[in-house]
Structure 1
Amino acid sequence: METPYPTPISPTQTRIGWIGIGVMGAAMASHLLSAGYSVTIYARNPSKAASLQSQGAHLANSPQQLARQCDVVFTMVGNPQDVRQTVLESDGILSGLKPGAVIVDHTSSSPSLAREIYASARKKGCWSVDAPVSGGDIGAREGKLAIFAAGVCAVVEWLKPLFDLMGRVTYMGEAGCGQSCKIGNQIMVGANLMGLSEGLVFAEKAGLDLKKYMEAIRGGSAGSMAMELWGRRIIERDFKPGGFAEYMVKDMGMGVDVVKEEDDGKVMVLPGAALGKQMFSAMVANGDGKLGTQGLITVVERINGK
């Protein structure tokens, strides 16, 4: 299948739109600006756009207006409801896109919604790619995100020069497969964070020096990317969000509740993911939903009376 444009992506020709300039989205958009691309952004709170504007970004008044002047529009918003509103509603991205343009959704969202957006985009002669990411705020700042892209392979290949500025892209399959990959990723991240948190609580109770403990085990089978990203932050009580804990409730919930539509309609049984969702839900119930996911240790500590 042909790519949407006959010419390669280039800073002088390809006009970029970006919606969602939180901790990760702003860093990702910044890489595109640094590479010389023309980037137009939309923010519900325009004051949050000041940093990107200082780097040369333009500001649009609505998703529709932004889409009218862009070849590729990226979204990195909070949850599936935000994606639906931003893309599909009457003044959303699709209402302004010209035929041949592409939507790339980096939000951790629903596979079924990704398929719906893809079908709606094709009806307009446009393309969509669901491309959620993993790597947190550090990966976003350093341009080292893992990107799980799905849709038409040729379109993903066409977008690769943009993805390469933000991290490493892997083509996962047809529309929705990127989101399914991210759900699986989050199930494993949640399990790693639970193990990391409980290990540190145990080590402290046993009287170990936590930094020495982490150095001792990081090279063995207990070592993980979760430890590399969050271990020192947890020890130093740095719970600033790279990704909000409340989003893990959403992500792991999609894993727990997903229905195998193509099979027998039975709900998948994932006991570890169910426990992880409960643990992150406890963070939210404690008023800590806006902390980083590494704050999960606070739930383990509360359970143990600390």
Structure 2
Amino acid sequence: MSTPNPYPAPITPSNIRIGWIGIGVMGSAMASRLLSAGYTLTIYARTPSKAAPLISLGAQLAATPADVAKSSDIVFTMLGHPHDVQQIILAKDTGVLSGLSANGVIVDHTSSHPDLAAEIFVAAREKNCWTVDAPVSGGDIGAKNGSLTIFAGGDREIVDWLSPLLRLMGSKVTYMGGPGRGQSCKIANQIVVGANLLGLSEGLVFARKAGLERSHWMEAVRGGAAGSKVMELFGRRMMDGDFKPGGFAEYMVKDMGMGVNFVEEVKEDKVVVMPGASLTKQLFSGMVANGDGKLGTQGLISVIERINGN
């Protein structure tokens, strides 16, 4: 699938125009890093008032996703759900792809469906454009610090060419394979993250019930096999009841659902059965049912506390 790079010149602020769509907690922090590095950004926001912080840093606001694309060589998206990605990128006349010139590149950082990523890649190639599915892990802290882990799917030469921009946002960028492979990697990542959040939630609740001081308990175990990146990112927040979102709990329902519902198209015996992921999805669904879908994923501990009568 490799092809000659349509942009042989290296990426610099003087020769590449960038578009950005999706300015929530994660997207705004990631876009800010590109602005700080000197790149010119054209942005789109369904709620224009939310664009004010980026506009104050020099971003230009466009009326539609297509208008962003018309002013950009590369368009990044960081949205909530696969249906958002489909609408923003593929909508006739107003979508990114409708406004993108030949050899333009779309980089989708949304946690989305692998099949949709592959569909968008095909649609882009029909216009002689390129797409990369590049979901991220690391939460709001990683987005602010530029220390995200990025999983990239698409054409390898395009991913390599994009690396100066991706490395402004992530400390680790891994090429996973063809279109959709970045998304498949993110789903597997979320399965592990969900299991770690559940284990940490239960560990903290048990420690308190057992009469342990939770900070002391966490310091005791963090250097052993129980330690994890999830503990580093969210342990203190969970103890403090700080559920400010980096990623919404409702997004974990989406991500875990894509894993739980995964079916290999070619052979039915390739269906993946994941009882742990199914349970974790149910618990996050419980958060949504309790009206807590907009809390951070670390809020999962609230479900375990409720189960235990707290």
Q: Same fold (TM over 0.5)?
A: yes
Whole-angstrom distance in 2 between the partners of 1:277 and 1:214:
25
**TM superposition shift of 1:262:** 3.4
| Cα offset, 1:6, TM superposition | 1.9
Equivalent position of 1:152 in the other structure: 155
Determine the C-alpha separation between the residues in 2 that align with 1:103 and 1:255: 24
Distance 1:28 1:251 in 2: 21
Aligned to 2:56: 54
Determine if the alignment matches structure 1 residue 284 to structure 2 residue 295.
no
The whole-number CA distance in structure 2 between the counterparts of 1:24 and 1:44 is: 16
- Map Cα deviations across residues 135-193 of structure 1 (whole Å, 9 max, x no partner): 00000000000000010000000000000100121000000000000000000000000
Q: Shift of the alpha carbon at 1:299?
A: 0.5
Q: 1:4: Cα distance to partner?
A: 2.1
Q: Deviation of residue 266 (structure 1)?
A: 5.2
Query: Helix, strand or coil for the counterpart of 2:174?
Result: strand
Distance change in 2, residues 1:62/1:263 (3 Å) = same
Per the alignment, in what secondary structure is the counterpart of residue 6 of structure 1?
coil
How far residue 116 of structure 1 moved from its aligned partner, in angstroms, is 0.1
1:250 aligns with: 254
- 1:225 deviation in Å? 0.3
- State the Cα distance separating 1:265 from its structure 2 match: 6.3
Query: Are residues 1:264 and 2:280 paired?
Result: no
What TM-score do you get using the length of structure 1 for normalisation?
Answer: 0.99
Give the Cα separation in 2 of the matches to 1:11 and 1:295.
39
Matching residue of 1:38: 40
1:99 aligns with 2:115: no
C-alpha deviation, 1:305, in angstroms: 1.1
RMSD after superposition: 0.8
2:240 is the counterpart of 1:236: yes
Task: Measure the CA separation in 2 of the matches of 1:193 and 1:88.
Answer: 35
Which whole-Å CA distance do the structure 2 matches of 1:265 and 1:82 have between them?
Answer: 32
Equivalent AA in structure 2 for residue 181 of structure 1:
C
What CA distance in whole angstroms lies between the structure 2 residues aligned with 1:100 and 1:13? 14
Q: Does 1:114 align with 2:117?
A: yes
1:169 and 1:58 map into 2 onto residues whose CA distance is 28
Distance 1:26 1:267, change over 3 A: same
8 Å contact kept, 1:259–1:265: no
Match of 2:133 in 1: 130
Query: Which of 136, 139, 142 matches 2:142?
Result: 139
Q: Distance in 1 between matches of 2:272 and 2:238?
A: 32
2:176 is paired with a residue whose SS is strand
Q: Does the 8 Å contact 1:172/1:178 carry over to 2?
A: yes
How many aligned positions are there? 306
- Report sequence identity in percent: 67
TM-score (norm 2): 0.98
Unaligned runs of 5+ in 1: none
Distance in 2 (CA, whole Å) between partners of 1:274 and 1:26 is: 31
Residue in 1 that maps onto 2:230: 226
